[in-house]
Homo-oligomer: A and B are copies of this chain.
Amino acid sequence: MSVAETTTADTVAVRRIQRSDPVFEDVAPAGEVVPGMTRRTILTSGAPLPWHRYRGGQRQAILGAAVFEGLAADEDDADARLASGDIALRPCHDHGAVGSLTGVTTWSMPVVVVHDRANGTRGFCRLNEGGSTESLTFGVWSEGVAKQLAHVRDVVAPAFGAVLRATGGLPVRPVVRRALAMGDDLHSRHTASGALLRLHLLDALVREPGLVPPDARRALAEYLEEAEYLFLHVAMAASKAAADAASGVPGSGVVTAMVLSCDEFALRVSGLGREWFRAPLPPPADLRGRLFDDWTTDDLDYVGGESLITETTGLGGLAAAASFPLQDFSAGTPEAMVELTERMYGITVAEHPEYRIPALRYRGVPCGIDVRAVATTGIVPAIHLGATLRHGGHAGAGLFTPPVAAFRAAADTLTARSGHTGEQP
């Protein structure tokens, strides 16, 4: 395959990311909207593993989700049912969805629904679990977690959905554009985008308080005030919708998914559809960033995570230069963050026409990771990632370096397949 051909295929793929016009349209139970969802399905983050390989926080979250959903009497029962296949454990990405950290999602859990009106795709991500990071998301299962999950499902989500639908939805593109000029990277920092989403909903409620009953209104206001990373799940679902649109272009090496399970990093590229390219995760101690309290990198472990989907559309670590407030949780200094983003232009296919970085004189974010360029240069995508504790819980955030082996495997496969399928001129 010639470079020109590669470029054409990659250009086709990246244009779908660039033109993506996601609208946050609804909040609804996963069972009602996520394709292929069943009452006995649990979605989780990462390329799929045999049940026995899930461990730590991710295993805990899956067991908790089974009990919460009423699919098992207790954790032991859940363990047996997951082992037997009575409960189907499935990767989020095969259902148009993406998972934050553990990513566990069951039938009754509310998800954000983002409709990409330019590409016609939809992306889903579980609605933020609320103010506490003692949550299934972070790999913790407890009575408190169950109570909060039920509150969000039964009180917050219906109110959230009702208000959002009444407004006709929230266009995501203007929010991302504005948030990048307000210090968000849209992965580890959502201070501005969260505020803009909150304004959208509160404004609608002030004009029409009767949209939801008084108690639910107050519960929603409290939730919106407390939920950290309120917009992250929306940005993730929006990126998923764009990435799915970019998938399936023959010959394209544009990355369409990067995921973590507790055990592996994996990725997909456009030209190879749903095939996963896997590599072992680097030691958690390699994470460069800042930890809360007295945690050290020895306390860390992986619990899964698919928020890296934001990097596939040029946000997160790729947009580090837009987010100097994250410096301690990223490359360390503003100068190093600029260097980080500038390095990313060497492994991406294009720049985003609207998502721009003020510190780089409004240059567009690097957009469309080229797996061949990563394989050739050895430069891997810069990823902003939440840090999690060995047995679940939030420990901080940092800069994650994905294993180059996964990118090389995908690049090699692309080359091999193109040789066999007669795609050359």
Q: Which residues of A contact B (CB under 8 A)?
A: 178, 181-183, 191-192, 195-196, 198-199, 202-203, 205-207, 209, 217-218, 220-221, 224-225, 324-325, 327, 333-334, 358-362
Once the chains are docked, how many angstroms separate the CA of A220 from the CA of B207?
9
Once the chains are docked, how many angstroms separate the CA of A182 from the CA of B193?
11
Contact partner of A178 among B191, B333, B360, CB < 8 A?
B191
Residue with the greatest number of chain B CB neighbours at <10 A, chosen from A178, A182, A195? A182
Sample (12) of A-B pairs whose CB atoms are under 8 Å apart = A178-B191, A181-B325, A182-B192, A192-B195, A195-B196, A202-B202, A202-B206, A203-B221, A203-B225, A324-B358, A324-B359, A334-B358
Q: Which residue of B lies closest to A360 (CB)?
A: B334
Q: Which residues of B contact A325 (CB under 8 A)?
A: 181-182, 358
Q: Which residue of B lies closest to A179 (CB)?
A: B182
Pair B203/A203 contact, Cβ less than 8 Å = no
Pair B327/A361 contact, Cβ less than 8 Å = yes
Once the chains are docked, how many angstroms separate the CA of A221 from the CA of B198?
14
Contact partner of A198 among B199, B334, B358, CB < 8 A?
B199
7 smallest A-B Cβ distances: which pairs? A324-B358, A202-B202, A209-B209, A182-B182, A181-B325, A206-B221, A205-B206
CB distance from A228 to the nearest CB of B (A): 14
Contact partner of A221 among B181, B207, B361, CB < 8 A?
B207
CB distance from A217 to the nearest CB of B (A): 6
CB distance from A146 to the nearest CB of B (A): 26
Once the chains are docked, how many angstroms separate the CA of A196 from the CA of B196?
10
Once the chains are docked, how many angstroms separate the CA of A224 from the CA of B206?
11
Q: Which residues of B contact A209 (CB under 8 A)?
A: 206, 209
Q: Which residues of B contact A203 (CB under 8 A)?
A: 202, 221, 224-225
CB distance from A314 to the nearest CB of B (A): 18
Q: A202-B202, A207-B221 are in contact. List 4 more A-B contacts (CB 8 A).
A: A198-B199, A202-B206, A206-B221, A334-B359
Pair B327/A358 contact, Cβ less than 8 Å = yes
Contact partner of A183 among B225, B333, B358, CB < 8 A?
B358
CB distance from A118 to the nearest CB of B (A): 26
Q: Which residues of B contact A217 (CB under 8 A)?
A: 206-207
Contact partner of A218 among B207, B218, B327, CB < 8 A?
B207
Residue with the greatest number of chain B CB neighbours at <10 A, chosen from A191, A203, A206, A325? A206
Once the chains are docked, how many angstroms separate the CA of A359 from the CA of B203?
32
Once the chains are docked, how many angstroms separate the CA of A218 from the CA of B205?
10
Q: Which residues of B contact A192 (CB under 8 A)?
A: 182, 192, 195
Q: Which residues of B contact A205 (CB under 8 A)?
A: 202, 206
CB distance from A186 to the nearest CB of B (A): 14
Pair B361/A333 contact, Cβ less than 8 Å = yes
Once the chains are docked, how many angstroms separate the CA of A327 from the CA of B225?
32
Q: Which residues of B contact A225 (CB under 8 A)?
A: 203
Q: Which residue of B lies closest to A182 (CB)?
A: B182
Contact partner of A191 among B182, B221, B324, B362, CB < 8 A?
B182
Once the chains are docked, how many angstroms separate the CA of A203 from the CA of B217?
10
Q: Which residues of B contact A224 (CB under 8 A)?
A: 203
Q: Which residues of B contact A220 (CB under 8 A)?
A: 206
CB distance from A367 to the nearest CB of B (A): 20
